Structure 1
Amino acid sequence: MSAAGSRLGALGQLEIEVAFRAALAAAVPLSILIAIGRPELAPYAAFGGMAAIYGRGERYRVRARTVSTAAVMLVAAIAAGTAIAATGASLAVEALALLLLLVGGILVVNVARLGPPTTIFPTFALLVCASAPTPPEEVGLRILVGAVSAAFALALSLSGWMLRRFGGARVARLLKTLPKEPAVRVEAVRDPAVWLNIVEVVVGAAAAGAIALAFGIGHPYWAVVTLVAVVPPAGAAHSTSRSVHRVLGTLGGVVITGLVLWADPPIQVLVVVIAIGQFGAEVLVGRHYGAALLCITPLALVVAHIAHPQPLGLLLADRVLETVIGSAVGLVVVLAARALAARRSSVE
């Protein structure tokens, strides 16, 4: 086998290793909650477990930093959303929390150089938890479930260190090497590209949410989440083709979700779907984000369905409309950013 082929094979095995851990981070906490008769807590565990999607391919001392950073972001989003739901806070409070998360989250993602370089998972955690009926006396419990699940995801992410250190040469060959060691980039807080991305996402999220509200959708958060998925991260090319891929991936994910939920499967099946979604998202997210959304979207929507079940027809109609709104606003944002970049280039 050629050297290039050997590297590709090693990368493929590494992706499977990481994806398997991500699936376990979702399946184990959810299975425990179902076994003890508390399935309504599953979304909080699922959001905490999403920390395992971060840090792929990184060396362990770096991964400990990046995954723990992602875990803190996710738990903070869970806590904010849960507090909003329990107190019945106004839409203005929820919008303020979203603003703080988007601004702070994009800065953290770029400074800590998290991968995937997006705030889609914390954004979704905040908005779903804010919409889930929450008794005030269960706020602490729900945050604790998310925190424990995130800690479990962190432990799984670092578990390969023991295997590589003490598993012998045969295990080391199976697990392959870890190629990535990204350094913290503090100067990202002064990077105009990062702040342009913040403006894009904040303005786009406000517009998508406002339009969804104008249509009378009960929980228009999916329009906001779609917008976050469609707008590329700081420094990425603002091409319409990439944005169209993300739109198609999101719409395709909505269709897959409809097929999954059509038969009204038991929650055990939904846990398997969530685990498969995390597995697929981990494998694809570094290769093609549009394709990854075919897994991320069902993962997110099934978690939302567990948190706040709705009739399937209403769920799909709302999600399709919200996806179209978020995608359309996202494309406008991308085109506007590309036009602005072209104008700057012509002036310079």
Structure 2
Amino acid sequence: MVIPLTVLVVAGRVDWAVYATFGGMTALFGRSEPYRLRARSVSIAMLGMLGSIGFGLVMAALGAPLAALTLGLMLVIVLGVLLISTAGLFPGTPLFFVFAYTVCAQVPTDFDQVLPRLLVGVAGAAFAWLVTMSGWLLRRAAPDRGGSLFKPLPRQPTVNLAAYRDKLVWLSIGQMLVGVLVAGGLAVLVGIGHPYWAVVSVVAVLPPPGARHSTSRAFHRIFGTVAGVLVTALILLPGPPVWVLILTIAIGQFGAEILIGRHYGAALLFITPLALTVSHLGNPAPVSGLLVDRVVETALGGAVALVIVVATRAALARAAARRGGLPS
């Protein structure tokens, strides 16, 4: 994150920082995978991030109405879940694709700026790809004969070309589509200034395909987001210089990478400042309003997602009970 954003600051193009940042989120994928498999995972994730950025840019340039933006969001969710499930990517959520699309679609963009901004995203993603794969060179240069120098790489992602036929995949897609429509609709009706945050909160809270529908995990994610907003308030309210914002994005990315595979709620403590700072860079707005909107929309999106989690868990339990009660 730091190097591409520093280049943009020196070049006087802070307004392009949001695209470099989303491209750089490519580095969130492929952790703990052997490098021959990581190359595939990170490349697929990069295409997903760039596709989301490009789609959002086109929507922004067209000045797409809310209905079109909503249909675009639904398409990003469907394709994002299918892409992740087919390629076996981790994190197993389309959160970052949704985040890239929603923010890029909100930043005012002229048609002649679509390609330059997308190329900034490409440069950020390519740099992230190189950094993510650089460990291969380190391991080649310093063979770990004793097994103590480098950590093991146990994750073995597998490609599942039949993922589109998996009922759990479509259950996850259905949950997210219902959740974002309900949460986004309520946010628009209430008149909240940044309704897409409610949408992002839904996707952040709902479990990926095949994961347990746990209310405790949902609460962890909600509280992690709210705590992240409080941390962001301490950073943004004093009106820091751009270098502090870049450092915040870098630390947020680092914390997200370290924690996202261990405790998603704790990871949101870093993801939220990262997300809000990126949003603030891309489309500056009064910080107090941004933070209040984020808390309200987190509560709204989280509540909608929690209802969906509870309802789905109850439905799955009833279905299991019916199957268990059938005669053999």
Which one of 37, 48, 51 corresponds to residue 76 of structure 1? Answer: 51
TM-score normalised to structure 2 length: 0.96
Aligned with 1:298 (options 273, 276, 279):
273
Q: Hey, which of these two has a bigger chunk of helix by percent?
A: 1
- Return the offset for 1:313: 1.6
- Which residue of structure 2 lines up, in the alignment, with residue 227 of structure 1? 202
State the identity %.
51
Cα deviation digits, residues 21-75 of structure 1 (max 9, x gap): xxxxx11111110011100000000000000010001011111111111111110
Q: In the alignment, does 2:216 pair up with 1:263?
A: no
Q: Shift of the alpha carbon at 1:205?
A: 0.6
1:179, distance to aligned residue in structure 2 (A): 1.8
Change beyond 3 A, Cα 1:259–1:171: farther
Q: CA separation in 1, counterparts of 2:146 and 2:318?
A: 54
1:283-322 map, 5 Å: 283-322=258-297
Find the aligned partners of 2:156 and 2:143 in 1 and give their Cα distance. 23
Matched position secondary structure for 1:186: coil
Quick one: distance in 1 between partners of 2:318 and 2:162?
Answer: 25
Decide whether aligned partners of structure 1 residues 171 and 304 sit closer, same or farther in structure 2, where only a CA change above 3 A counts: farther
Which residue of 203, 211, 214 corresponds with 1:239? 214
- Matched residue type, 1:275: A
Q: CA deviation at 1:175?
A: 2.7
Opposite residue 23 of structure 2, the aligned amino acid is G
Match status 1:126 vs 2:126: no
Q: CA deviation at 1:342?
A: 1.1
Report the counterpart of residue 184 of structure 1 in structure 2. 159
Once the two structures are superposed, residues 284-307 of structure 1 have per-residue CA deviations (whole angstroms, 9 ceiling, x without a partner) of 111110111101111111100101
Partner in structure 2 of residue 144 of structure 1 = 119
TM-score after normalising by structure 1:
0.90
State yes or no: 1:154 paired with 2:129.
yes
Structure 1 residue aligned with 2:302 = 327
Q: 1:254 aligns with which of 205, 221, 229?
A: 229
- What amino acid is aligned across from residue 198 of structure 1 in structure 2? I
Q: Distance in 2 between matches of 1:346 and 1:177?
A: 41
- Residue matched to 2:40: 65
Hey, which bits of structure 1, 4+ residues long, moved more than 4 A? Answer: 168-173
1:323 aligned partner, one-letter code: T
- Aligned-CA RMSD value: 1.3
Mapped to 1, the partners of 2:213 and 2:251 lie a distance apart of: 30
Task: Answer whether contact 1:81 1:128 (CA < 8 A) is retained.
Answer: yes
* Range that drifts further, 163-172 or 275-284: 163-172
Partner of 2:326: none
Contact (CA 8 Å) 1:164, 1:172: kept in 2 or not? no
1:94: which partner in 2?
69
**CA distance in 2: counterparts of 1:211 and 1:134, whole angstroms:** 27
Q: Which moved more, 1:236-245 or 1:160-169?
A: 160-169
1:4 corresponding residue in structure 2: none
Spell out the pairing of 1:329-348 with structure 2 (5 A cutoff).
Answer: 329-348=304-323
Structure 2 CA distance for partners of 1:244 and 1:152, relative to 1, 3 Å? same
Query: Pick from 198, 203, 213: which aligns with 2:188?
Result: 213
Question: Counterpart of 1:237 in 2: which secondary structure?
Answer: coil
Structure 2, gaps ≥5 residues long? 324-328
In 2: Cα distance, 1:176 partner to 1:322 partner: 39
Q: CA deviation at 1:320?
A: 1.1
- Alignment partners' CA distance in 1, 2:255 and 2:149: 21
Once the two structures are superposed, what CA deviation does each residue of 1:81-100 show, in whole Å capped at 9, x if it has no partner?
A: 11111121111211111111
1:251-292 CA-partner distances (Å, limit 9, x unpaired): 111111111101110111110000000110111111110111
- Report if the CA contact (8 A) 2:41-2:89 is conserved: yes
Which residue in the other structure is 1:282 paired with? Answer: 257
Distance of 1:56 and 1:172 partners within structure 2: 18
Alpha-carbon distance in structure 2 between the residues aligned to 1:104 and 1:184: 16
Aligned-partner Cα distance in 1 for 2:47–2:69: 19
Contact (CA 8 Å) 1:131, 1:219: kept in 2 or not?
Answer: no
Code of the aligned partner of 2:116: L
